[in-house]
């Protein structure tokens, strides 16, 4: 399994346990944006959404579902950084 497959598997596993995350749409749009003139702006918007959600979840240190989503956010942010 390559890195991309591993990331998709991790995110997929988290989604199965909790359902779709509210940040996933912005993440997908940024990741799969094909217009080079819009890519950077799309990634920046997605990062803002993901960081905002991370701040919300960090207030719930004892919630196992929040911790799972935080891990999914960490993986998604790493992947967005590589997308540019």
Q: Is 33 helix (H, G, I), strand (E, B) or coil?
A: coil
Per-residue pLDDT, averaged over 42-58, amounts to 94
Residue 82 predicted with pLDDT over 70? yes
pLDDT class for 35, splitting at 50, 70, 90?
very high
The predicted pLDDT at position 22 comes to 78
Average pLDDT over residues 29-50: 94
Distance, in Å, from the CA atom of 3 to the CA atom of 7, rounded to the nearest integer, reads 6
pLDDT at 78: 94
Answer yes or no: are the C-beta atoms of 65 and 16 closer than 8 Å: no
Number of folded domains that form the chain: 1
Predicted confidence at residue 10, as pLDDT, reads 63
Provide the domain limits for residue 52: 3-83
Q: How large a percentage of the chain has pLDDT more than 70?
A: 77
């Amino acid at each position: 399994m390559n890195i991309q497959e591993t990331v998709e598997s991790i995110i997929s596993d988290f989604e199965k346990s909790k359902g779709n995350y509210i940040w996933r749409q912005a993440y997908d749009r940024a990741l799969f944006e094909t217009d080079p003139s819009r890519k950077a702006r799309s990634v920046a918007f997605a990062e803002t959404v993901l960081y905002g959600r991370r701040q919300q979840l960090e207030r719930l240190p004892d919630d196992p579902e929040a911790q799972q989503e935080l891990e999914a956010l960490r993986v998604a942010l790493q992947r967005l950084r590589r997308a540019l």
